[in-house]
Amino acid sequence: MSEQATMAAACPIPISQYPQVMLAHGGGGKLMHQLIEQMFVPAFRNPLLASRHDGAVFRVAEGKMAFTTDSYVVKPLFFPGGDIGSLAVNGTVNDLAMCGARPLYLSAGFILEEGFEMETLWRIVNSMKNAASDAGVLLATGDTKVVDKGKGDGIFINTAGVGVIADGVEIGPERVSPGDAVILSGDLGRHGIAIMAAREGLEFETTLESDCAPLADLVLKLIDEGIRVNCLRDLTRGGLASALIEIAEASDHGIRISEREIKVKEDVRGACEILGFDPMYLANEGRFVAFVDKRDADRALELIRSDPAGEGASIIGNVASDANARVVMESRIGADRIVDMFSGEQLPRIC
């Protein structure tokens, strides 16, 4: 099959035969072979995958590596600004970036439900291909399983990733020190609301898109420019509140932030007002907080703002010198309150 044919928008699996995923597509036989050869290998084309080995074999540099994994279950599979495929690549790429690592290789494990549309799978695989190419990573190894109809939710994806950390880069909660500036890379809550708006049952019109984006380039730019970055954390489920609380507890330092400095888009705020949600706890997929030595704070902010993924960045607070490892926020009207973790997920309120 020619390069052009495989990369066309149309699904390469002969859909006249198999418009949907069959149990046999995960069975190790001819159909599974066909799925790998005609869908995954051409999409993710690279020498490691082409070797058809049991695993990817690659050279490593001296020094430190970062290794992470995440599983992606999302409903709906496609939402404004992204889909499960781009999420599965960017999420893992971003976790590596938060370790200060340059992401290199990803693995992808697909758990497909019998009857899942082949065409839909193809769209997701294509989206992963594009996201991987944008982030500069190779999908080096993979796996496919098919479960009985009714035993899955269409598709689950697991990705794991490895990246290399440059010499001298030390990033982690234990590095956080009193006085560090806390920089937030943009507005909050777009992913959470975009998903909710696209979900069946919540019918409000919005042009809002998920903030789903790879963050590695931006983070590496900070490191390359010599910014003293002490800690990084991407804001996913649990939002800004959970990320800051985790870092406060792990570093044993209090964090003070100002509500006025935290940006939330008008659409997100509107949806939050209606549903009774707090943007501090909404999910994001393209935002992070950086704890930076205060001497480098202004320069770091400028660098982050110069990147499309960080245009809306602001310094939202700093690390306090008191011993109490709590996150305290100054409200808009000037009073202090504790920022606490939610015990479960945020639930739409009654009135």
Partner 1 sequence: MKFIDEYRDGEAARKLTDAIHRITTGNWTLMEVCGGQTHAIVKFGIDELLPDGVELVHGPGCPVCVTPLELIDKAIAIAARPEVIFCSFGDMLRVPGSEKDLFMVKAAGGDVRIVYSPLDAVRIARENPDREVVFFAVGFETTAPANAMAVWQAKQLGITNFSILVSHVLVPPAIEAILSSPQNRVQAFLAAGHVCTIMGYTEYEPLAKKYKVPIVVTGFEPVDILQGVYMCVKQLEEGRCEVENQYARSVRKEGNVPARTRIEEVFRIVPRKWRGVGEIAESGLGLTDEYAEYDAEQKFNVAEYTAEEPEECIAGLVLQGIKKPAECPAFATKCTPEHPFGATMVSNEGACAAYYRYRRDSIGEGRSASAGGKSYE
Interface residue with partner 1, options 202, 250, 262, 325 (CB under 8 A): 202
Residue 335 near partner 1 by CB under 8 A: yes
Q: Smallest distance, Å, CB 149 to partner 1?
A: 18
8 A C-beta contact, residue 10 and residue 119? no
Distance CA 136, CA 159 (A): 15
Query: Containing H/E element for 51?
Result: none
Residue 343 near partner 1 by CB under 8 A: yes
Beta strands in the chain (DSSP E): 64-72, 78-79, 82-83, 101-113, 138-147, 155-165, 181-184, 229-234, 255-258, 288-292, 314-319, 327-330, 336-339
Give the contact letters, 311-330, x = binds to partner 1 (CB under 8 A), - = no. Answer: -------------x-x----
Closest CA to 121 of 22, 20, 38, 8: 20
Residue 207 near partner 1 by CB under 8 A: no
8 A C-beta contact, residue 242 and residue 151? no
Q: Smallest distance, Å, CB 203 to partner 1?
A: 8
Interface residue with partner 1, options 28, 150, 168, 201 (CB under 8 A): 201
Give the contact letters, 258-297, x = binds to partner 1 (CB under 8 A), - = no. Answer: --x-----x--xx--x-xx---------------------
Nearer to partner 1, 205 or 266 (CB): 266
Give the tokens for residue 14: 């002969």
Nearer to partner 1, 31 or 208 (CB): 208
Residue 133 near partner 1 by CB under 8 A: no
Nearer to partner 1, 201 or 308 (CB): 201
Distance CA 220, CA 297 (A): 16
Q: Smallest distance, Å, CB 114 to partner 1?
A: 21
Residue 150 near partner 1 by CB under 8 A: no
Those residues with Cβ within 8 angstroms of residue 16's Cβ, 6 or more apart along the chain or in another chain: none
Nearer to partner 1, 116 or 277 (CB): 277
8 A C-beta contact, residue 146 and residue 26? yes
Give the tokens for residue 65: 């590596």
Q: How many residues bind partner 1 (CB under 8 A)?
A: 27
- Positive or negative, the Cα torsion across 182, 184, 189, 191? negative
Q: List residues near partner 1 by CB under 8 A.
A: 201-202, 260, 266, 269-270, 273, 275-276, 324, 326, 331-338, 340, 343-344, 347-351
